[in-house]
Structure 1
């Protein structure tokens, strides 16, 4: 392929994906799927007065990039823009491979079905774990294409490796899962090495070299990330966060069944209710030692035949609850009707299906089953495997007209899953965001007071969409009783500067601290039990839809 033709195909792939991106953002209203992305955006923009490249769940290198971009101009939502760029690059790489492997318009149409389905999850319900899964699978897809071509392209290989590195930096666990599920395509690639005859070993060597370089780079960025968490403060936080995740993400031990042990640890039922609702930031009563004992108290799920049977009873019907499974089903149907079905293709499809089942059983066993942000990356990998198998040979009897009709039907049918996010259906969201943002701005401009808010109150995900600007230092006087970031060294130092080391204790008789609370009775019970039996809640004011109090002692 000459350079002019290659540029033309790259331009076509990019143009098609830009068209899908602009159409989606024009018709639908993007949002963050989880609070985590809001926190990462905050750490880049400095909304709460902390600018830090330590992102905990993303690689330190991404934090450096965000910090640099926001330093250039904080008027742009760089966190969203950068993530959109990675998604666009990943989808474009897939389109480029398909229009090369499938002659005619079929590759472009199949790509559009994929991009419209997964672009909805990536662009409209933005979430960093999804981005990691999509980029990782696209990286392997592109590298396999580079390795099968007659003429080796260093530029494409480097591009694919860089995309894989970015995927790893977004979420390492999802990177491994999505890359692993590309094994179905890798298996067919190895089967098809026989066509190279005397050059099989050379191709195999290139394969080992290419993926070896990717793994070496991944190891390098991982070591760099780890080297930035070696201080005593970060080691202490990471130990805390490990136990916090086991309790808050996977559930506390049942209180009634373990009441005696809870009471020995000094945790009353009121405290239990506060902690499990993410209001756990009592640095004295809910410290790392207490959390470790609670984690040890949790019974590990036994791996028995009953566990496997229970999973197998659920799994087939649960597939119908996963929106992206239907995109996969479309590609399976295309393969069955028009695709190559020799023994090697069939074995690759069966291997992919077995791997999917194994991964979902692992997630079921670990308690992370049916989590959409994880599922998206897994099904994207499975779809790319099917597309690799489909594009490995000519699509018999599938002409341009059939391809176009299939694409139109699939995109139109997909709107039944997407219509809830159409701008016309979400017209009240901008008003709600402005209203809630006004509350934050009222609190943030009152620099004479520090506000401590219960989890769920003043939620930034309600106030800011992916493309809304987050003003630097607006909320440097507002802190939460929970959240994975609440005990990071950066936020801890900021709270200490405001005279707060333990929010539940330091709120008492402090004229400069206000409490934002939607269940003041429960909070008051807790403070009376542990810190001041005569504590009283004094109502100060209502701002928007939140009530503000001070805690006084008689």
Structure 2
């Protein structure tokens, strides 16, 4: 194709996009989501979201739909509660997360189209969607969803700043960005904090670059809305829980508990034995505690948790080989994710499109370096879960597109995807191949979870039929995360269970025990024909040791049922004949 033929074609596409970039962005993202949903099914990343969905819908409580989602603002909880009361069979919880991701992608693409419109923009965003966007659809999680919608709001504000300096004012961008930031804080307040922290280098360089032509007054009201909306929503959520004495006490306990379970595991060795002895914890106690099995309220009291944390803070953890090995394992785990290599490669490739020595390139380099430092801090002192790692990688990737691919200088200025140097052409081909391979992997993963989802529903339905009116005490590995975002979870209706996922002691958990006429689940498990224990084969040995210590005698684990990724036992002082219901 000649140069003269190429220019009218590019100009035609630009003209079609010129008048309605928002509609074009919405249409493109709608098509992408539609095609994605045709080849795969969205699935959850962890069990946190299915649990919150069960609370909001009422299928996981004995009081009906409830607004206390714990990690998500109570304002969203109240909205979901009323929606479930109106239409209980609609999957409102999963639906709102998927809708938020759709809006986020729409605004992310819209922001890019406002700066520039050509094939390179569409191609680069398609790669971002297939590589990172689909990852978040097959790992749906409220933390990453909040991060995405917050990133969309931040991109609107950044683009508004750049357009204002070009005398192309878009007032609604500032207000839309503020609303997105507020909504992100309601979904997960900590996600917004992480977003702002990781975006600091980019925001500071952007502010410095456009400071001379910046009209601060037009940003004051949207900024005030964002600040008051975020802080006001967070304050309302805190006060809502504080007004209820039972919830207030539980949150205090949970705040002391969470870091001891989520952060680095403390090795049980000569250096730490005195600390464990001070709170009267054995190795088995601590191992069970780290797996959220802490029904013994006296042994795991608030006072003991606080004393243990205070003494742990004085330990030289960095000098302990067990801790070092754990940190290395965390890094290796993060680096085994295909999305890591894809996003890093794409970031380098699209950074190459920008002008050498430009401030846009520098901003990307500083942002990547800053994110690496944050990841290193999390690995050393906290924990780096996949959902956080993927968000940080996606942020670097998208900022590269927004700042470099939309630039007016360098190779990106031509908008030609395969008309650059041989190195660039090769990189683009590799990117397409990688994205195709990742998409196949996502489809395979989704299909496996859908099969396990079917098995979970069959198991629960069979248990309700074969073991009616029984109560099940389930550890966190019970495959509740096999629920899908588009499931209404109604199969759990009338299924009596106590889920040990960190909410023991919450008012909802206590109300369940009262409704099931249980005072102490651990004490009543042994020898009971009414209360059974749900475990996982890989955790049986640890739990057997813990329960043997707790009861002070040998415990027989009589197998009642083998389900998909879980086993049901009747705990007793003698071995009983197997009674496995037909599946």
1:246 alignment counterpart: 259
Cα 1:384–1:205, aligned 2, differ >3 Å: closer, same or farther? Answer: farther
In structure 1, the residue corresponding to 2:27 is in which secondary structure?
Answer: helix
User: For each residue in 1:27-59, what CA deviation from the matched residue of structure 2 results, as whole angstroms up to 9, or x when unmatched?
Assistant: 234321111111111112222225321222221
Any gaps of 5 or more consecutive residues in structure 1? none
User: For each residue in 1:145-194, what CA deviation from the matched residue of structure 2 results, as whole angstroms up to 9, or x when unmatched?
Assistant: 22333354343332222111121122222212222333344344334436
CA drift of 1:282 comes to: 1.9
Query: What is the CA–CA distance in structure 1 between the aligned matches of 2:371 and 2:127, rounded to whole Å?
Result: 21
2:54 alignment counterpart: 42
User: For each residue in 1:251-303, what CA deviation from the matched residue of structure 2 results, as whole angstroms up to 9, or x when unmatched?
Assistant: 44333433455345333343333323332222232222222222223245769
Q: Is the 8 A contact 2:17 2:117 kept in 1?
A: no
2:408 alignment counterpart: 393
CA drift of 1:229 comes to: 1.3
1:333 equivalent to 2:349? Answer yes
1:156 equivalent to 2:177? Answer no
User: For each residue in 1:448-497, what CA deviation from the matched residue of structure 2 results, as whole angstroms up to 9, or x when unmatched?
Assistant: 322222342x32123x22222201762551113x2122322112121122
Query: What is the CA–CA distance in structure 1 between the aligned matches of 2:313 and 2:88, rounded to whole Å?
Result: 47
Query: What is the CA–CA distance in structure 1 between the aligned matches of 2:293 and 2:51, rounded to whole Å?
Result: 17
Cα 1:410–1:493, aligned 2, differ >3 Å: closer, same or farther? Answer: same
Query: What is the CA–CA distance in structure 2 between the aligned matches of 1:528 and 1:360, rounded to whole Å?
Result: 40
Query: For structure 1, which segment, 54-63 or 517-526, has the greater mean C-alpha deviation from structure 2 after superposition?
Result: 517-526
In structure 2, the residue corresponding to 1:229 is in which secondary structure?
Answer: helix
Q: Is the 8 A contact 1:74 1:472 kept in 2?
A: no
Q: Is the 8 A contact 1:185 1:389 kept in 2?
A: no
Any gaps of 5 or more consecutive residues in structure 2? 1-15, 576-583
Cα 1:332–1:495, aligned 2, differ >3 Å: closer, same or farther? Answer: same
2:475 alignment counterpart: 454
- Counterpart of 2:230 (choices 206, 210, 218) is 218
1:496 alignment counterpart: 514
Query: For structure 1, which segment, 94-103 or 321-330, has the greater mean C-alpha deviation from structure 2 after superposition?
Result: 321-330
Q: Is the 8 A contact 1:536 1:553 kept in 2?
A: yes
1:469 equivalent to 2:488? Answer yes
CA drift of 1:218 comes to: 0.4
In structure 2, the residue corresponding to 1:56 is in which secondary structure?
Answer: coil
Query: What is the CA–CA distance in structure 1 between the aligned matches of 2:459 and 2:273, rounded to whole Å?
Result: 40
- Counterpart of 2:32 (choices 20, 39, 61) is 20
TM norm structure 2: 0.81
Query: For structure 1, which segment, 169-178 or 427-436, has the greater mean C-alpha deviation from structure 2 after superposition?
Result: 427-436
1:441 equivalent to 2:461? Answer yes
Query: What is the CA–CA distance in structure 2 between the aligned matches of 1:311 and 1:212, rounded to whole Å?
Result: 43
- Counterpart of 2:289 (choices 275, 279, 283) is 275
2:436 alignment counterpart: 415
- Counterpart of 1:229 (choices 241, 259, 268) is 241
1:186 alignment counterpart: 203
Query: For structure 1, which segment, 297-306 or 108-117, has the greater mean C-alpha deviation from structure 2 after superposition?
Result: 297-306
In structure 2, the residue corresponding to 1:279 is in which secondary structure?
Answer: coil
Query: What is the CA–CA distance in structure 2 between the aligned matches of 1:157 and 1:111, rounded to whole Å?
Result: 22
1:88 alignment counterpart: 102
- Counterpart of 1:353 (choices 368, 389, 402) is 368
Q: Is the 8 A contact 1:101 1:107 kept in 2?
A: no
TM norm structure 1: 0.85
Query: What is the CA–CA distance in structure 1 between the aligned matches of 2:541 and 2:388, rounded to whole Å?
Result: 37
1:367 alignment counterpart: 382
Query: What is the CA–CA distance in structure 1 between the aligned matches of 2:72 and 2:152, rounded to whole Å?
Result: 19
Query: What is the CA–CA distance in structure 2 between the aligned matches of 1:410 and 1:88, rounded to whole Å?
Result: 23
In structure 1, the residue corresponding to 2:216 is in which secondary structure?
Answer: helix
Query: For structure 1, which segment, 467-476 or 165-174, has the greater mean C-alpha deviation from structure 2 after superposition?
Result: 467-476
Q: Is the 8 A contact 2:121 2:415 kept in 1?
A: no
CA drift of 1:219 comes to: 0.6
Q: Is the 8 A contact 1:129 1:174 kept in 2?
A: yes
Query: What is the CA–CA distance in structure 2 between the aligned matches of 1:138 and 1:409, rounded to whole Å?
Result: 27
Q: Is the 8 A contact 1:508 1:552 kept in 2?
A: yes
CA drift of 1:7 comes to: 6.8
Query: What is the CA–CA distance in structure 2 between the aligned matches of 1:266 and 1:22, rounded to whole Å?
Result: 56
In structure 2, the residue corresponding to 1:228 is in which secondary structure?
Answer: helix
Query: For structure 1, which segment, 233-242 or 267-276, has the greater mean C-alpha deviation from structure 2 after superposition?
Result: 267-276
In structure 2, the residue corresponding to 1:514 is in which secondary structure?
Answer: strand
Query: What is the CA–CA distance in structure 2 between the aligned matches of 1:530 and 1:310, rounded to whole Å?
Result: 30
Cα 1:210–1:358, aligned 2, differ >3 Å: closer, same or farther? Answer: farther
1:141 equivalent to 2:143? Answer no
CA drift of 1:93 comes to: 0.7
